[in-house]
A and B are shown apart, each in its own frame.
Chain A
Amino acid sequence: MAHDLIAEDHVRVRGFATIAALHSVGGKGDPVRTVDQPKGGDNPVSLRSDSLLGLQLDYTLTDDVNATVQGLSRYHGSGDFSPEVMLAFLKYTPRHDLDIRLGRIGWDAYAFSETRFVGYSYPWIRPPVEVFGLLQLPFIEGADVTYRHPVGRGVLSATAFAGRGGSEKLYFTDDTSARIERGRAGGGHLDYRTQDWFMRLGYTRLHMDPDYHYSNPNKFSLQELRTLLQQGVDFSDLYGISDIEFVSLALDWTPARWQINAMVNRTSLAGKGGHIDSGLVSAGYRIERFMPYVVVSYTDANPEQDLSGNNFWQRTIGVGTRFDVATNAALKLQVDHVTVDGAAPFWRGRGDDYSRQERVMLGLGLDIVF
């Protein structure tokens, strides 16, 4: 009798959606949100890079087993909005402090990364591309285990995960891309959360066997071509994405009306890839239905061998506001000033021009959950 009173519906269907328009001024090339997008948001106004629709079905099988399936339609590596299954897992909770998930789960490399497509869940119009745009896998097929324990005034949780990615195509420049099949990911993170603070230290190791595609050998200078030839044009060594290590430190401070997020990451690449540093600092302040915010994000590639396509630096300073038009809908307006130097993989249509340039991007979007 008592149990019946608290039983939830066994089946729940939920969803999230973003419709967002992007306009950019100055510079050359069209911005993308993630490195798997083959085309950028072109002018005058593009809905391509940020608009998406997700549907999720949650099914309670028993008191300690749940199933979740989530489909997402967004512009991705196949060059269209074809839907993709992002989550499909069983969650087993043998004890109240332990969760085990088995199946297709989110790749939780960074804080926010599991829900980087759920616009309603964060203040910005999109998660900073300098940090989240570089993530190679939308999901992994494997398992994760999370253990939680109260410590002090908060809760400490430890998560370990392992699995394989799907088939992805990543674009480094207009001419260079790589197809990766079933990359192997493993890692974990320690989280500590109180009412006002959240801290995460994460580590992930990713192994892939990328199949490089290069469409314009004329782009390289003679010197670069000579060097490449001497190396046997070993793109794997040049870009170094066959073995990647991610170390991430995130800190959120959310006292009352403030929402302050900070994150620093180091991505270490194999071969001559060197390492890529990235990070963000964001500050928002809630004024009833408005949350104005400022966000600064950067990425800085430090290859051991400087060749076209693997050396870049980019910084975005964004100012915007979130306006909660309803308890499940947020309208967002964001203006970004982007400075890019080198072959940052967040642009399409730049051709061979990897010189430093500045760009202003205007984004207007509506995020809903239902």
Chain B
Amino acid sequence: MRWLRTLLMALLLTLTPAIASANLVVVVSNDSQVQSLTYDDVVNIFMGRLSTLPGGEPVVPVDYMPLRASFYKALVNRELADINAWWARLVFSGRGSPPRKSDGFDETIELISHNPGVLGYLDKSRVDPRVRVVYEFGGRS
């Protein structure tokens, strides 16, 4: 039965990112015109490939630092080291800057709710009426 245990362990490891991401949501201000984003939109914006929303409006992504590792694990299944290495390529070629960093919850939700062009992520349980969920992990499209 060792093979079964190994298989279950492998399955558990594979599912870990999904479990970790189950409570993360991507949000914008309630004043934003954006109603929803696709998985590819979120990846392209947070990885610095696009600086506009699908409608063409400028967007500023914000990393909420306490959830940063979980977010990128959920988004692209990468460790922070890989994300930082990616940004090192963009920063030190002068081609891009990483998302703005935000450390505290209050600061983050203020930043998002007062700026329709800001895209951030939060724990689903802490979403309040000031922000709108535009992408939820687990419902990848």
Contacts and interface: CB of A to CB of B under 8 A. Distances in A.
B118 A106 contact: no
A150 B40 CA distance: 10
B140 to A, nearest CB: 11
B15 to A, nearest CB: 13
Nearest to A194: B40
Interface stretch (A1-9, A32-40, A43-51, A272-280): A1-9
Interface string B98-141: 00100000000011001111100000000000000000000000
Interface stretch (A73-81, A113-121, A337-345): A113-121
A181 interface: no
A210 B122 CA distance: 58
B63 to A, nearest CB: 12
Contacts of B58: 96
A56 B91 CA distance: 9
A114 B88 contact: no
A322 B118 CA distance: 34
Interface residues of B, number: 38
A5 B100 CA distance: 11
A100 B100 CA distance: 22
Given A56-B92, A115-B93, A121-B89, A327 B84 contact: yes
Nearest to B100: A8
A150 B81 contact: no
B76 A195 contact: yes
Interface stretch (B4-12, B18-26, B49-57): B49-57
A150 B50 CA distance: 8
B44 interface: yes
Determine the main DSSP class of B at the interface with A. Answer: mixed
B138 to A, nearest CB: 17
B100 A153 contact: no
Interface string A1-39: 110011010000010100000000000000000000000
A160 B40 CA distance: 26
A89 interface: yes
B117 A155 contact: no
A294 B23 CA distance: 37
Contacts of B84: 120, 327-328, 369
A155 B49 contact: yes
B97 interface: yes
Nearest to B60: A6
Contacts, number: 105
Interface string B69-107: 000000011111110111011011111010010000000
Contacts of A243: none
A292 B117 CA distance: 40
A368 to B, nearest CB: 10
Nearest to A60: B97
Which of B47, B76, B77, B93: most chain A Cβ within 10 A?
B93
Contact of B94 (A105, A193, A291): A105
B92 A115 contact: yes
Interface in A50-75: 54, 56, 58, 68, 70
B115 A70 contact: no
A101 interface: yes
B88 A115 contact: yes
A153 B50 CA distance: 12
Given A5-B114, A286-B79, A150 B44 contact: yes
A112 B88 CA distance: 11
B110 A118 contact: no
A132 B62 CA distance: 35
Interface in A88-115: 89, 91, 96-97, 99, 101, 105-106, 108, 112, 114-115
Nearest to A95: B52
Given A6-B111, A101-B94, A106-B93, A193 B88 contact: no
B85 A121 contact: yes
A287 to B, nearest CB: 10
B68 to A, nearest CB: 9
Interface in A228-285: 256-257, 259
5 contacts: A14-B91, A87-B94, A193-B49, A194-B40, A327-B81
Given A56-B91, A121-B89, 16 more contacts: A6-B100, A8-B97, A68-B94, A96-B51, A96-B52, A99-B95, A114-B89, A115-B92, A118-B89, A120-B88, A148-B50, A154-B44, A155-B49, A291-B81, A330-B81, A369-B88
